[in-house]
Amino acid sequence: MRTLLRAVIDPELGDNIVDLGMAGDIRIADGTVTIGVKLTIRGCPLRAQIQKDIRARLEVHPWVRKVKINWGEMTAEERSAVMTRARWNARESATDTAVPVGARVLAVASGKGGVGKSSVTVNLAAALAAQGMTVGVLDADIWGFSIPRMLNMPDRLQAERVEGRDKPMIIPNERSIESGLLRVVSTGMLVDDEGTALMWRGLMLTKAVEQFLNDVHWGDLDFLLIDMPPGTGDVQMGLARMLPRTDLLIVTTPAVSAQKVAIRAADMARRSFLRIAGVIENMSTFTCAHGEDYALFGEGGGRALAEEIGVELLGQIPIEPAVAAGGDAGEPVVLSGTGAAAAEFTRIAALIIAETPDATEMSGCSARTDSDAVGVTVRRGS
């Protein structure tokens, strides 16, 4: 009987009710099949569809005269287990995107806004490009886009016909940096000016990210950096589903209060089976003209976060007015080549390059497994 019930699929979770743990006790007596079914919530709107499918699968058998369903509701623990399985299934069945298979995808995430996540994204992208890499930058902070200004790339995006595609593709705007190249896509390149408000709901946000992943002609990339919106909402869940090979870089400030918020991004990664590549502490210290260091935003938060989630603290970016000035002018501070912040961004970029396996090393091995869904960076030879 359970074999028959495996053909009943929960339309929302995309798996059968047996493996999801929804099908409970089954009793058969005098041609009547009584089955217990637990829903994720008692008022589940899909109850009627599930009931119809159960009856359709069981009542076709001549010895089954009647099907009776006793409805129940899952406990919090059972519901959590079901959602974990559903996220894993979505990850494993993710469709192909236009992002090159050989590109390492790094999503720059944070638990809340105001920690300098976009500044970290553009400076790391510029530092990677300065070391000869071709780097895609996807501004997934749909409402709070700032990448076009911070990279001085205000031009509107264009679409062109690309060989092998049946529809026009979005062409990223490009900027050469030394021997490398940046390819940038942002909703800020779709609006008339930077002050335009995008009043989109959750579904539209996810669709925008989906379009950037599927309908952009990225070309060959070494890295794709994704500037995430703060928090753990629709965009984050959509990215985990559509591009499950993404690694997360979590940005926090030194304050313990910020670290406690940032850990939510780590929890999202764990629940979505994404790997955490490491933690970057931004706004670490301020050094005055006399050489004295001041911890203006506290201290220890980045290291505490890294230790708590078991990953590496990749670097600590000091507070320098040149970082903000560079973002306002569209010239990331890392390109100046001077100052402690520029040096730290360059060092972190070199570390990321060194710890990124090339395509031949990745051949024939799984990039991630159940056990290391939230783990340290992928190291060469792993």
pLDDT in tens, 164-173: 777 888 899 9
pLDDT of residue 328: 92
Between 82-91, 254-263, 280-289, 345-354, the lowest mean confidence (pLDDT) is in 82-91
pLDDT of residue 38: 87
Per-residue pLDDT tens over the stretch 91-150: 555 456 788 888 899 999 988 878 889 999 999 999 999 999 999 999 988 777 889 999
Per-residue pLDDT tens over the stretch 231-241: 766 677 777 77
pLDDT of residue 233: 63
Nearest-angstrom CA–CA distance, 341 and 320: 7
- Burial class for 346, CB neighbours closer than 10 Å (0-12, 13-18, 19+): buried
Class of domain 2-92: alpha beta
Q: What is the mean pLDDT of residues 172-179?
A: 94
Between 16 and 60, the higher pLDDT residue: 16
Task: Work out the angle between the directed axes of helices 234-242 and 76-92 (0-180°, nearest 10).
Answer: 50
pLDDT of residue 202: 55
The residues, any chain, with a CB within 8 Å of residue 34's CB and separated by 6 or more, are 25, 26, 27, 28, 68, 69, 70
Between 190 and 32, the higher pLDDT residue: 32
Residue 299, CB-side half-sphere exposure with 13 Å CA sphere: 7
Nearest-angstrom CA–CA distance, 341 and 322: 9
Is residue 345 very low, low, confident or very high in pLDDT (cuts 50, 70, 90)? very high
Note if the pTM is more than 0.85.
no
Tokens, residue 154: 């205000």
pLDDT of residue 53: 84
pLDDT of residue 379: 30
Between 47-51, 142-146, 276-280, the lowest mean confidence (pLDDT) is in 142-146
Could you tell me the residue ranges of all domains in the chain? Answer: 2-92, 104-372
Is residue 358 very low, low, confident or very high in pLDDT (cuts 50, 70, 90)? low
* Selection from 181, 184, 243, 245 nearest residue 214 by Cα: 243
The secondary structure of 198-257 as a DSSP string is: ----HHHHHHHHHHHHHSB---S-SEEEEEPPSSSSHHHHHHHHH-TT-EEEEEE-SSHH
Nearest-angstrom CA–CA distance, 108 and 276: 10
Fold of 104-372: Rossmann fold (3.40.50)
Is residue 58 very low, low, confident or very high in pLDDT (cuts 50, 70, 90)? confident
